[in-house]
Structure 1
């Protein structure tokens, strides 16, 4: 099969499409025929060598955190999935993989996938399989948003941002989206009550907010200061500066900066699928690339300005 792998760390040019043996599912595992994957910050960081504690330094290293496709085989003891089922899921983000989601096939534990929403294409599903759970965990579990609270979503036009705007709206929040001004129409359509242009809006001129969802990972202390009494802030944009701000905020009780790395299993994926079915959440796809052009997808991701997700399709027999 074809699999995107790293043979060294570096820019998007180091991505290679290699011929490898198709994996075989072991006990408790599922073999998925991948139809689409997306480009995530995690993928870019692994490729650049910024997550060596996770990926290790031994090559080849598989690329692609998420996937959508169909079940092609199951190992012993797997119940609930049959060959031909349409599924979505993630490889484990904190483990090394020689092949991952950006491949013709991927093997994962059965508790890392769920049946994909019937109304979504594989491209649309791939655009939500990381962003949906991340936004849901941030709002429901980390900051516990309640109806009527004032919410700021920073980086609102990105993958997690567009999902967070929709879910905050669905949960009854009054949503302020911070993004490029040209994305105001889309974000309003997704549920934002107000859209502020991040290029001309400074943190000291907005708020206060009951909840802040940050996807950027910079200037966290400035935005934390815009929390109301009892306010909560969570960031998914982890960087060295973000980690320092998170540590420094620990003395502020409820107003500390929360952080997490999404690692959803089947129950969370099913919750997201239910939100899609109910109409509370829909995917936002910026652009679609064939697997052969995955380097271009990574380059586009790193240029920024993305609206939703860059998705990579996995056509059979055309590489």
Structure 2
């Protein structure tokens, strides 16, 4: 193997800057494995990265690639690696700057786990980013308890659609905010209540023990809905006003008991294996909006930016 196909861009800009080009297949170190990627998904952070809104992270060196999550098959194992074999079906997360929208990725075995055996890899990838984010947000950062009221903003999207399912799995009363055309969809995922975010006044929502915010906007207003001791977990900030968003989160940690917690997920094998168990037990189900071929990566970015997504836009790599 010498070269592979990958989604690339040579400058920051709209989806049209994306193209499929040829780059070298990554050489693995003795501590890595090489995975042939079958599927990846489009995430909001990649849109911001491609548009140049994360330049402090992504830098000014081109070409750049995109993608963070992947599902595929191990094709080469480093000499120092144990517990992973060629032919294993795995899923995992790559760094944004390294990218996963390519035919192969080199990755540490600590960053992959066994993919669910009951799902195709195209189905499985729809659960990965949203699932690991939701488990970390609800269990580790919010310490949600059975019976608590949970509000999920952006409940039909890639993270929100899995957060609804994880919230129910953890025993919460789930209130989902989504667009009008997606209300039945999120109810089907297990939401106890589904409300149109455009027409439902905040005053009608009541109070919540936990809020998971996948939108990143109006965080101060939603923070006011927290009950005493309530916890709000922001899995994104307003990319168009990043400093204001960070200031809101910081202020919440200094004033009052209703705090906003922000985190950037970094899943490991243990978390990925746990998510696989949920999928294989039927506790969570795939949420695929559309499957796009790699050559249509720009269309997939354009579709996610347009909004109204139900679950994930998935990219079929090989």
Q: TM-score, normalised to structure 1's length?
A: 0.95
Q: Give 1:106 shift.
A: 1.0
Matched, 1:176 2:175: yes
Aligned to 1:59: 62
Contact 1:92 1:263 in 2 (8 A): no
Deviation per CA, 1:250-294: give whole Å up to 9, x if none.
224541111111111111111111111222112201111000000
Asked if 1 retains the 8 angstrom alpha-carbon contact of 2:26 and 2:104, the reply is: yes
User: More deviation in 289-298 or 49-58?
Assistant: 49-58
Matched, 1:5 2:8: yes
Corresponding position of 1:248: 251
Task: Tell me the CA shift for residue 141 of structure 1.
Answer: 0.4
Distance in 2, Cα, partners of 1:66 & 1:43: 11
User: Are 2:145 and 1:146 equivalent residues in the alignment?
Assistant: yes
- 1:43 corresponds to 2:46: yes
On the 8 A contact 1:35/1:69 being kept in 2, the answer is: yes
* Matching of residue 261 in structure 1 with residue 260 in structure 2: no
Query: Are 1:193 and 2:196 an aligned pair?
Result: no
What SS does structure 2 have at the residue aligned with 1:176? strand
- Whether the aligned pair in 2 keeps the contact of 1:112 and 1:264 (CA below 8 Å) is yes
**Aligned-partner Cα distance in 1 for 2:282–2:317:** 27
Equivalent in 80, 84, 105 of residue 81 of structure 1: 84
d(CA) in 1 for partners of 2:294, 2:136: 30
* 1:52-95 deviations in Å (ceiling 9; x for gaps): 222221112121111111001111211111111111011124xx
**Secondary structure of 2:232's aligned partner:** strand
Show structure 2 runs of 5+ residues with no match.
Answer: none
Residue-by-residue CA offset, 1:161-193 (whole Å, 9 max, x unaligned): 011110111111011001112222221121111
How far off is 1:19 after superposition? Answer: 1.1
- Displacement after TM superposition at 1:138 (Å): 0.5
Contact 2:152 2:176 in 1 (8 A): yes
Aligned position for 1:233: 232
Contact 1:35 1:314 in 2 (8 A): yes
| Structure 1 partner of 2:126 | 127
Number of aligned residues: 311
Shift of 1:244: 2.3
Separation in 1 of the partners of 2:152 and 2:121?
Answer: 27
State whether residues 286 and 307 of structure 1, in contact with CA within 8 Å, keep that contact through their aligned partners in structure 2: yes
Q: Normalising by structure 2, what TM-score?
A: 0.95
Runs of 4+ more than 2 Å apart: 251-254
Distance across 2 between alignment mates of 1:33 and 1:150: 42
Q: Distance in 1 between matches of 2:187 and 2:302?
A: 28
**Separation in 1, partners of 2:256, 2:146:** 22
**Aligned equivalents of 1:112 and 1:64: distance in 2?**
15
